[in-house]
Amino acid sequence: MKANEVSKLTGLPISTLRFYERKQLIPEQFLSRDENNYRVYEKEVLEYLQDVRMLLTLGFSIQELILLINESSHIEKKTMVMEKINYIQALEAKLEASKKFLEDLLEGKANFQTHCKS
Amino acid sequence: MKANEVSKLTGLPISTLRFYERKQLIPEQFLSRDENNYRVYEKEVLEYLQDVRMLLTLGFSIQELILLINESSHIEKKTMVMEKINYIQALEAKLEASKKFLEDLLEGKANFQTHCKS
DNA sequence: ATGAACTATGAACCTTGGTTTACAGCAAAT
DNA sequence: ATTTGCTGTAAACCAAGGTTCATAGTTCAT
């Protein structure tokens, strides 16, 4: 598969594919070059990229993903993932509090709006 | 109150106070200048800045806060806040899905890790 | 076989939310 | 009265996650 096809199938711009590659986020097993130096992607890269998108959306940084990919021990990966799960749980609690704050704002209980122009 | 006091009481670096000011995030009612051109903050700015921090942490951008502050009609503010509440709810749903994804990853059900080195 | 479309590269650029720097005036303590 | 510290400014810098640009080779359709 050439870059254009991967781009269309994943929705990621080609520039982003190259950016990920530059960041070492595309393992060699997924990517080689043809006789013209054009990139050739394996079809498995599609699933992989979906996972990468998911993990980035979840709040993993590119650096973290690289660690996750290269981390040799299973237990270290496990630790990273569990930390992220904890982080997500904390975030959920914060979001609940936030909703309450915003609802108070709607009802005029917060004072932020009293500072607004009208 | 001078900048240093506001900084200490809010925990925001002075550079951040100035940054917010540059971004028009500090209404004039909270800020004037003394005879040396030093900033003079009203004490009410403290609550206001707490709210600003909260809203930024919630995922409002500075641009959105500026809109929220300047938006003339109450109903428009209400709309913005309700949209953000909806956004938070969607985010919570996504986080739940994410947790599931990560738990699957832990259990080896996801294929991301199968692409990892070891 | 020639132009349009696709691929490659490195480098510069972008946005967001700030922080740091360089330089200068004012203040408070010794 | 001078050193130390706080205040001011504009402008440069930072990290993340990409995108755009300039330039050049390749391939497909007509």
Q: What is the largest CA-CA distance in chain B?
A: 68
Q: What CATH number has the domain spanning B1-59? A: 1.10.1660.10
Handedness of CA B91, A58, A78, A88 (dihedral sign): negative
Residue A114 confidence (pLDDT): 59
Give the best residue of A45, A81, A109 to mutate against chain B (max B CB count within 10 A). Answer: A81
Domain map of chain A by residue range? 1-59, 72-118
Verify if strand C has an atom below 7 Å from the CB of A78.
no
Q: pLDDT (tens digit, 9 = 90+) per residue, A39-95?
A: 999 999 999 999 899 888 877 899 989 988 887 678 888 888 888 888 888 878 877
Q: What is the pTM of this model?
A: 0.77
Q: Higher-confidence residue: B36 or A67? A: B36
Q: Higher-confidence residue: A107 or B61? A: B61
Name chain B contacts of A76, Cβ cutoff 8 Å: none
Name chain A contacts of B106, Cβ cutoff 8 Å: 78, 81-82
Mean pLDDT of B61-76: 84
Closest nucleotide to A36: CA versus each C1' = D26
Which of B88, B112, B93 minimizes the C-alpha distance to B102?
B112
Residue B68: CB atoms within 10 A of its CB come to 20
Q: For residue A47, what are the CA distances in angstroms to A22, A30, A51, B115?
A: 19, 11, 6, 10
Q: A9 is written with which tokens?
A: 């199938």
